[in-house]
A and B are shown apart, each in its own frame.
Chain A
Amino acid sequence: MNLILIGMNHKTAPVEIRERLSIACTEGFNPLEEIKAIPGVGEALYLSTCNRVEILARTREERTDTEERLKALIFRHGNLGEEDMARCLYVYRDSAAIRHLFRVAASLDSLIMGEPQILGQVKEAYRLAVDHQAAGIILNKLLHRTFRVAKRVRTETGIASHAVSVGYAAVELAKKIFGTLKGKKVLIIGAGEMSELAARHLIKHGGDRIFVANRTHERAIRMAEDFQGVPVDFDHLGDSLREVDIVISSTGAPGYILTYDMIAAVLKRRKNRLLFLIDIAVPRDIDPRAGDIDNVYLYNMDNLQDIADDNMQIRKGEAEKGELIVAAEADSYIEWFNTLAVVPTIVSLKEKAAGIIRAELERSNGWLRNLQEEDREGVEILANAIVNKILHDPMTCLKEESQEGSALAYVAAIRRLFRLEEPGGGE
């Protein structure tokens, strides 16, 4: 199969080394051309993200030094001692390389398992390979299969469907309460980094009307400007509470900013509209008993963190299902690959032709019956002769190419043109 994958990721390489490589490629290097120039490399793909660098190449059999040359290229780009870098590199071949590529694209190998960006990055890497004419028949097929596997893992397992950050956990909860965040009003109490971060999350998901309250009103005004929101009076929070749907509180106050009585009273005035309180302050800003009030949903930092942690556990469980999908898909890809050998292709081509002749003769049985015995035989011989003549040149060509070791593309083309694709192994 002659696939080789060399790379490093967050598990094998410390960040100092990874960042050198990603800097190297943003500085105008074009590793693809360089990789292609290495003798023995037939096709290549170069993937680089914050957390990984991977080179996937299809090599020609006759060269044995391709691996060393690929590594040398990485060392050169990383501008680091060989010993340092060699420790961080992993090398996979053939089926292991395929499995690794599937795992990467399906986000099973990511730092945050199930994160969605990696598939886009793999797609981008493939697009570059196509642009540089570095992707041929094998990589084309392999990458399309990769995208399919990634999609399968995503839809058939819950690996991506649970918020694993505090911010996303809050957004998901808000959606479970309000359905949508569109048009929802958000009150931020305490202008600070934490509340700003939380607010950005909510805005990104549709929360579009922001109110800001802060003990020093000037800071509230400044932060409100950032969010195109409205600064409100810190001493009359009750009035703002009447209007809003979501409250994020993160002041440095020693006691409760929002007391039980305050919230209970405000709920009546807001005609019991649902209220989602997020208390990310330590010590807490909101009386925890407020969570017992009907239609009030109170979450503090620990609650959100617990949910994110639990979800991470769920993702890990789902990842096991993903691994099963990856293993099965890798097997089926390898099965397809093995059909690309020349001899089985010639055999199945002959079988297909023989099958067609048989079927057509049977179909014409009606009028063939009227012929003399020997005329009938003559017709059969003629049919066989025509088919064999037509197939003769393609088959000779295949055999010749296989001597030169470059039959892969022809085999793939023939399998496709004559529809010799194995069931289940096809597109």
Chain B
Amino acid sequence: MDIDMLLDVLFFRGALLAYLISTLTYIFALLIRRVSPARAATWILTGAFGLHTLFFLGAWLGKGYNPFLRIHDILSFFAWVMAGVYLAFQLRTKTRVLGAFVSPVVFLLMIISSIGIGGPLNVPEVLKGGLVTIHAMLSVIGEALFTVASLAGLVYMLQDGLIKRRKSSMFMKLFPSLQDLDRINHFCLLWGVPLLTLGVLAGSIWARTVWGSHWQWDPKQIWTLAAWLIYAVLLHQRLAIGWKGHKTALLSVAAFVLLLAALLVEKSFFTTIHRFY
């Protein structure tokens, strides 16, 4: 079996399948409202993440491949960061059932990514600079952190509602504690904002050398700036004003929905010079 086959079939498809099984197991845990399948799902997710990591390592060492050039690879990397961030939190705080919300998103990203995974590498010369790689990597990590922050916010909203309802509930038992979810939201914003800032800066420096100016009023650029602005404001409110809990969770979710909608609109109605991502 040559290395391409090995990477693609064993690691990538393996990871994809494991993400699917993990997602289904999480859904099963929610359906029967018991934590034990979620425990299994977390291990499966860990396995999927391991395979996914091997895929990146193998592709990088074996073919010197750069996962930050094509949209499909970037989506796969996005999924990998999300899974990794979640699992790191899981180690520390046992926020197990949050995985039921992270895992489906990861799987979805992987599915979209898998559609183009075997395609030829027809990357224009202009994108093969180190600065582009840094720009893409930092931006993706930042945005993946925002996604996890928003998912933690979503679960926070659900749990908050359950506790305020003052009724006995299996879901309340299942979901992580408010404090843990709030901490995840806090941490993800704390790291996501500076990383995206650096990513955007790297991008704009590179844009100046290629397109002649830092800023083109490109839909993609506007969208990214909006995302950065919203999350930066959120982080500011957290750190400076002391926003916590319900309000930050609500705004994280709102920001995410808004940005997702904007992204879809942008993709369907506008053309962009930033067409690789």
Q: A179 to B168, Cβ gap below 8 A? A: no
Q: A179 to B179, Cβ gap below 8 A? A: yes
Q: B243: nearest residue on chain A (CB-CB)?
A: A272
Quick one: given A178-B179, A179-B93, A274-B178, are A306 and B168 in contact (CB under 8 Å)? yes
Given contacts A179-B93, A274-B182, A306-B168, 4 further A-B contacts (CB under 8 A): A179-B176, A272-B243, A272-B247, A310-B167
Q: B177 to A295, Cβ gap below 8 A? A: no
Q: B246 to A306, Cβ gap below 8 A? A: no
Q: B245 to A294, Cβ gap below 8 A? A: yes
Which of B34, B163, B173, B180 is the one whose CB lies under 8 Å from A297?
B163
Quick one: given A294-B246, A295-B245, are A173 and B167 in contact (CB under 8 Å)? no
Q: B163-175 interface mask toward A, CB cutoff 8 Å, 1 = contact, 0 = none?
A: 1101110101101
Q: A271 to B179, Cβ gap below 8 A? A: no
User: Contacts of B243 on A, CB cut-off 8 Å?
Assistant: 272
User: Contacts of A59 on B, CB cut-off 8 Å?
Assistant: none
Q: A172: nearest residue on chain B (CB-CB)?
A: B173
Q: B232-260 interface mask toward A, CB cutoff 8 Å, 1 = contact, 0 = none?
A: 00000000001111110000000000000
| B183–chain A nearest beta-carbon distance, Å | 8
Quick one: given A272-B243, A272-B245, are A306 and B167 in contact (CB under 8 Å)? yes
A303 within 8 A of B: yes
Alpha-carbon distance between A307 and B162 when the two chains are bound, in angstroms: 12
- Beta-carbon contacts under 8 Å, A307-349 to B: 307, 310-311, 314
Stretch of A128-136, A155-163, A365-373 lying at the B interface: A155-163
| A236–chain B nearest beta-carbon distance, Å | 22
A175 within 8 A of B: yes
Q: B173 to A161, Cβ gap below 8 A? A: yes
User: Contacts of B245 on A, CB cut-off 8 Å?
Assistant: 272, 274, 294-295
User: Contacts of B177 on A, CB cut-off 8 Å?
Assistant: 175-180
Q: B246 to A176, Cβ gap below 8 A? A: no
A273 within 8 A of B: yes
A291 within 8 A of B: yes
Quick one: given A177-B179, A307-B168, are A271 and B163 in contact (CB under 8 Å)? no
A299 within 8 A of B: yes
Residues of A at under 8 Å CB distance from B? 155, 158, 161-162, 172-173, 175-180, 271-274, 291, 294-295, 297, 299, 303, 306-307, 310-311, 314
B213 within 8 A of A: no
Which of B36, B178, B182 is the one whose CB lies under 8 Å from A176?
B178
Q: A311: nearest residue on chain B (CB-CB)?
A: B168
Alpha-carbon distance between A161 and B159 when the two chains are bound, in angstroms: 18
Alpha-carbon distance between A173 and B164 when the two chains are bound, in angstroms: 11
User: Contacts of A172 on B, CB cut-off 8 Å?
Assistant: 173
Quick one: given A158-B34, A179-B93, A179-B179, are A299 and B166 in contact (CB under 8 Å)? yes
User: Contacts of A173 on B, CB cut-off 8 Å?
Assistant: 163
User: Contacts of B34 on A, CB cut-off 8 Å?
Assistant: 158
| A228–chain B nearest beta-carbon distance, Å | 25
Q: B162: nearest residue on chain A (CB-CB)?
A: A176
Q: B159: nearest residue on chain A (CB-CB)?
A: A176
| A192–chain B nearest beta-carbon distance, Å | 24
Q: B163 to A272, Cβ gap below 8 A? A: no
Which 3 A-B pairs give the minimum distances between C-beta atoms?
A: A271-B242, A310-B168, A179-B177
Q: B147-171 interface mask toward A, CB cutoff 8 Å, 1 = contact, 0 = none?
A: 0000000000001000110111010
| B28–chain A nearest beta-carbon distance, Å | 15
Q: A272 to B168, Cβ gap below 8 A? A: no
User: Contacts of A307 on B, CB cut-off 8 Å?
Assistant: 166-168
Q: A273 to B159, Cβ gap below 8 A? A: no
Alpha-carbon distance between A179 and B180 when the two chains are bound, in angstroms: 6
Q: A179: nearest residue on chain B (CB-CB)?
A: B177
Quick one: given A177-B178, A274-B244, are A291 and B173 in contact (CB under 8 Å)? no
| A94–chain B nearest beta-carbon distance, Å | 34
| B87–chain A nearest beta-carbon distance, Å | 18
Quick one: given A158-B34, A272-B247, A294-B245, are A176 and B163 in contact (CB under 8 Å)? yes
Q: A314 to B168, Cβ gap below 8 A? A: yes
Q: B163 to A177, Cβ gap below 8 A? A: yes
12 A-B contacts, Cβ less than 8 Å apart?
A158-B170, A173-B163, A175-B177, A176-B178, A177-B179, A179-B176, A272-B243, A272-B247, A274-B179, A306-B167, A310-B167, A311-B168
Alpha-carbon distance between A176 and B172 when the two chains are bound, in angstroms: 7
User: Contacts of A294 on B, CB cut-off 8 Å?
Assistant: 245-247
| B93–chain A nearest beta-carbon distance, Å | 7
Q: B242: nearest residue on chain A (CB-CB)?
A: A271
Alpha-carbon distance between A175 and B177 when the two chains are bound, in angstroms: 7
Q: A295 to B166, Cβ gap below 8 A? A: no
Q: B103-135 interface mask toward A, CB cutoff 8 Å, 1 = contact, 0 = none?
A: 000000000000000000000000000000000
User: Contacts of B180 on A, CB cut-off 8 Å?
Assistant: 179
User: Contacts of A291 on B, CB cut-off 8 Å?
Assistant: 164
User: Contacts of B170 on A, CB cut-off 8 Å?
Assistant: 158, 314
User: Contacts of B178 on A, CB cut-off 8 Å?
Assistant: 176-179, 274
User: Contacts of A303 on B, CB cut-off 8 Å?
Assistant: 166
Alpha-carbon distance between A270 and B159 when the two chains are bound, in angstroms: 22
| A320–chain B nearest beta-carbon distance, Å | 15
| A175–chain B nearest beta-carbon distance, Å | 6
User: Contacts of A180 on B, CB cut-off 8 Å?
Assistant: 177
| B178–chain A nearest beta-carbon distance, Å | 5
Quick one: given A177-B177, A272-B242, A273-B244, are A297 and B164 in contact (CB under 8 Å)? yes
Which of B159, B166, B176 is the one whose CB lies under 8 Å from A306?
B166
Alpha-carbon distance between A297 and B168 when the two chains are bound, in angstroms: 15
Alpha-carbon distance between A179 and B182 when the two chains are bound, in angstroms: 11
Alpha-carbon distance between A310 and B166 when the two chains are bound, in angstroms: 11
Alpha-carbon distance between A403 and B205 when the two chains are bound, in angstroms: 97
Alpha-carbon distance between A173 and B172 when the two chains are bound, in angstroms: 9
Alpha-carbon distance between A250 and B243 when the two chains are bound, in angstroms: 30
Alpha-carbon distance between A155 and B245 when the two chains are bound, in angstroms: 33
User: Contacts of B242 on A, CB cut-off 8 Å?
Assistant: 271-272
Alpha-carbon distance between A158 and B168 when the two chains are bound, in angstroms: 14
| A241–chain B nearest beta-carbon distance, Å | 16
Alpha-carbon distance between A178 and B178 when the two chains are bound, in angstroms: 6
User: Contacts of B182 on A, CB cut-off 8 Å?
Assistant: 274
Q: A272 to B244, Cβ gap below 8 A? A: yes
Alpha-carbon distance between A172 and B170 when the two chains are bound, in angstroms: 12
Alpha-carbon distance between A162 and B180 when the two chains are bound, in angstroms: 21
Alpha-carbon distance between A177 and B177 when the two chains are bound, in angstroms: 5
Q: A178: nearest residue on chain B (CB-CB)?
A: B179
